[in-house]
């Protein structure tokens, strides 16, 4: 298994990949594919879908490596975001009968990804994480579990209903109300 590359090395591999360096792209793949594949397996729950999604991710990474912006987050965070969006796209296509949560137009969160070199920015990140944790503990247990499974494990509403042994409408309400309470708490 490939060892984990330091963030600065992943960043240089991404830059070289953006310039068309096939060897750098190969090293980037070797260094990061275990992380991306693990995320895809958790979200998709099928090896064949995860393998397909991983291939699609690296095609996108080859084509879009020049869009990586180091000031917005760590390279691995960017790569994982590409994988997460691909998994959600696959779930929407392969399971069209399942209503998937829509992604906001806001950029993905980068809390605690180590991207902030400025101590003030790190303090803001830590405060954001603390506030999110506080808000999460304020949710009812079923809302908290539903939100975590939906957004961090990629569960669809139907998968949540089966996993939590609850009616589909109830699960949808837990997710919707949980997100609403989180938004209100974070904006307070």
| Separation between Cα atoms, residue 123 and residue 121, nearest integer Å | 5
8-17, 96-105, 118-127, 146-155: least confident range: 96-105
| Separation between Cα atoms, residue 173 and residue 161, nearest integer Å | 11
pLDDT confidence bin for 157, thresholds 50/70/90: confident
Q: CB count, 10 Å around CB of 112?
A: 14
pLDDT confidence bin for 99, thresholds 50/70/90: very low
Taking the model in full, what pTM does it have? 0.52
| Separation between Cα atoms, residue 154 and residue 88, nearest integer Å | 7
Mean pLDDT of the chain: 79
Q: In angstroms, what is the C-alpha Rg of the chain?
A: 18
- Domains along the sequence of the chain with CATH: 1-115 (1.10.1740.10), 123-188 (1.10.10.10)
């Amino acid at each position: 298994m490939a060892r984990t590359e330091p963030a600065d090395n992943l960043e240089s591999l991404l830059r070289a990949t953006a310039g068309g360096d096939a060897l750098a792209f190969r090293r980037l793949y070797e260094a990061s594919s275990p992380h991306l594949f693990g995320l895809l397996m958790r979200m998709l729950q099928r090896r064949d879908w995860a393998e397909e999604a991983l291939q699609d991710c690296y095609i996108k990474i080859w084509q879009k490596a020049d869009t990586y912006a180091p000031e917005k987050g760590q390279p691995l965070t960017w790569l994982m975001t590409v994988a997460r969006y691909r998994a959600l796209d696959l779930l929407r296509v392969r399971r069209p009968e399942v209503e998937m949560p829509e992604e906001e137009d806001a950029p993905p969160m980068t809390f605690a990804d180590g991207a902030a070199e400025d101590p003030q920015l790190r303090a803001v990140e830590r405060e954001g994480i603390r506030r999110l944790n506080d808000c999460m503990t304020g949710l009812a247990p079923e809302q908290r579990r539903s939100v975590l499974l939906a957004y961090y494990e990629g569960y669809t509403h139907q998968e949540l209903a089966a996993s939590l042994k609850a009616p589909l409408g109830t699960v949808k309400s837990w997710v919707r109300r949980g997100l609403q309470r989180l938004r209100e708490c974070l904006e307070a």
